[in-house]
Structure 1
């Protein structure tokens, strides 16, 4: 069972998946920063200075705070502004992945269109015939 487990772990797919998850985790931080620090301020300016992160609906009458963090400390809230930010995060991430896949596909297509490495020219017909005769004589001897 241990050798079976070892061969399972050693397969390239498992290692590739692990690397993908680690890179994805790191990439999530980049996308979160892109959305929160770059995109959302512009979206806020476009829609009139709105900061989505503090948009919420209190679910109990005990919640009277103005910020999401303070409201969560007071009770249950429906944080739809945070949800909008997460949706924008997802759309940006999906767009970036789409562009990356499109770029990789373009590179692969260019690689396929490259002319094949020049293979040596086949020998003339008389040399091929002499080679065949030699090989037949070797097998009979």
Structure 2
């Protein structure tokens, strides 16, 4: 597991490149305010938008998640805990006024970037 990249994954980098090319500026891997050991993949701090790019295996994608055969009970508990942590993190951020956008790694980067861009533009202050 230690070799598994938890940041700068290919889907995340692809989305970030599209967002950057569209002129949007953001921060990456920012700690979740008020929660230890949790980070947000892509953050637009002024708009209070948190974007998560969830891996299908690690976060329980309904389309692509698999269950390992070896040590199945341990893995089930581990993956269930990951999904519960995702829900808790989303609820915490929303309760503190953040917009939370979650995407699966298999979603098309252009589609994800377009939705994120739309959300950011909706939150831009007028003036």
Where on the TM-score scale, by shorter chain, does this alignment land: which range? under 0.3
Identify, as 1 or 2, the structure richer in helix. 1
TM-score by length of 2: 0.27
Indicate the structure (1 or 2) with the bigger Cα radius of gyration.
1
Higher normalized strand content (fraction of residues)? 2
